[in-house]
Amino acid sequence: MSFKPLPREIKRVLVPPIKCQGIKTKLVPFILRNVRWNGQGRWIEPFLGSGVVLFNVQPERALASDTNVHIITLYQQIAGGSLTPRMVESFLTAEGRKLLAGGAEYYYQVRERFNRDHDPLDFLFLSRACFNGVMRFNKRGDFNVPFCNKPDRFRQAYVTKITNQVIGLANVMRGKQWEFRVLDWRDCLAQAKEGDFVYLDPPYIGRHVDYYNHWTNEDAVELAKVAQSLPCGVALSMWKGNRYRCNGHIVDHWSGMIERTFGHFYHVGSTVSLRNAMQEALLITPGYEAPLAAGEKSDIQHTLPLL
C-alpha cells in the first residue's frame, strides 16, 4: 500500500505493545493533522521510544533509532519475523500463570533474568507488569522499575490485546524499508537529507527520570541548533506548560518554528506530580505546517479509538 502524504486523518490509533512514560498515543492524530510532508524521502526519528508516531505515519522508508538497545532489538525482531505474535501470546500466557502464582517474587525473578539475558520477550513482559508503565534503567543499564502489584495482570483478554498489537505492527512493517538502529541522536540526524522529514521526541526537560541515559539542558540546546540547521522539515514535540510552570526553553531556542498546541492529561508517570494536565507544543519548520481548517484552533483535543 502506498504512503498517504501528511497531513492526514486517521480513524484509529495503532498502539505499540510496549509502554513508557511520555508515549504520544493521544497526540498522534494531532501530529498527523499538523505536519505537511509528501513522503518522498525518509521519515527519521532519533528518539524512537515506543514508536507510536512512526507506526501511525507508516512511511514507505524510515530510519528509526534510539539509544535504548532493548526497544530497537524488539522492533528489529518483529520486523524480521524472528519474534512472532504466536510467540508473544504463548510466552505471556505462560509467564502470566507464573506471575499469578508467584506474585512480586516472580516479577523480580523475571526482572533479574532480563537484566542478565536481555530477552525481548522478558522486556515486553516487564513493560506491561511494572509500576504504572514507567520505563526506567539505572546507571548500569538495568531495568529497575518495581512491580505493579497486580499478580493477575496477564488475563487472557490482556494477552490477546498485546498479541493483536504485535500483529498490527508486523502488518504495518511488511514491505516497508524501515531501518531500526541503536544510535546517538547526533549520528542519526547526520544522515538527514533534503526531502526527508525528522520527528523529534527528546526527553522532556525537567521530566526525565532515567528512561535510559542522561539528558541535560546542554543536550537540549545542542539539539535545537542541530535540528534547525537540517536540510529538511522538522517537527518537535515538547511540553509547553502545566498549572505549575511554563517551558522557557521553547522561547529561548525554538522561536523560529511554527507552533501548534494540544492539551491533554498524563496518566503515566512515577509520581502524582508527573500525572496531570499538560499543554504540549508541536514545533514545525516553517513551510512544513499543515493549514488549519477554517475556524479550527490548534489546541482542540480529539479522541480516537485505539487499536
Q: Which residues of 174-185 are buried (b: 16+ CB within 10 A; e: fewer)?
A: eeeebebebbeb
The whole-number average pLDDT for the span 242-255 is 87
Pairing of strands 258-265, 277-284: antiparallel
Q: Of the candidates 185, 173, 174, 296, which has an alpha carbon nearest to the alpha carbon of residue 236?
A: 185
Question: 45: which strand partners?
Answer: 64
pTM of the model: 0.90
User: Please, which pLDDT band fits residue 274 given cuts at 50, 70 and 90?
Assistant: low
Of residues 77, 75, 27, the one with CA closest to residue 199 = 27
Q: What is the mean pLDDT of the chain?
A: 90
For residue range 121-132, list pLDDT tens digits in order.
999 999 999 998
- DSSP E strands: which ranges in 161-273? 177-182, 197-200, 233-241, 258-265
Q: What angle, 0 to 180 degrees and rounded to 10, lies between the N-to-C axes of helices 156-173 and 69-80? A: 70
**If you search the block for the grid coordinates 522486556, which residue do you land on?**
123
Q: What gap in Å lies between CA 241 and CA 229, rounded to an integer?
A: 26
Kindly list the structural domains of the chain, giving each domain's residue range(s) and its CATH number in brackets, ordered by start. 28-79+176-284 (3.40.50.150), 83-166 (1.10.1020.10)
d(CA 92, CA 103): 15
Element (H, E) at 282: strand 277-284
pLDDT digits (tens, 9 = 90+) for 97-154: 999 999 999 999 999 999 999 999 999 999 999 998 889 999 899 999 999 999 999 9
- From CA 264, how far away is CA 276, in angstroms rounded? 8
User: Do the beta carbons of residue 262 and residue 302 sit within 8 Å?
Assistant: no
What pLDDT shows up at residue 307? 55
**CB-based contact 305:12 (threshold 8 Å):** yes
Torsional sign, CA 256, 251, 247, 192: positive
Exposed/middle/buried for 227, CB within 10 Å: 0-12, 13-18, 19+? buried
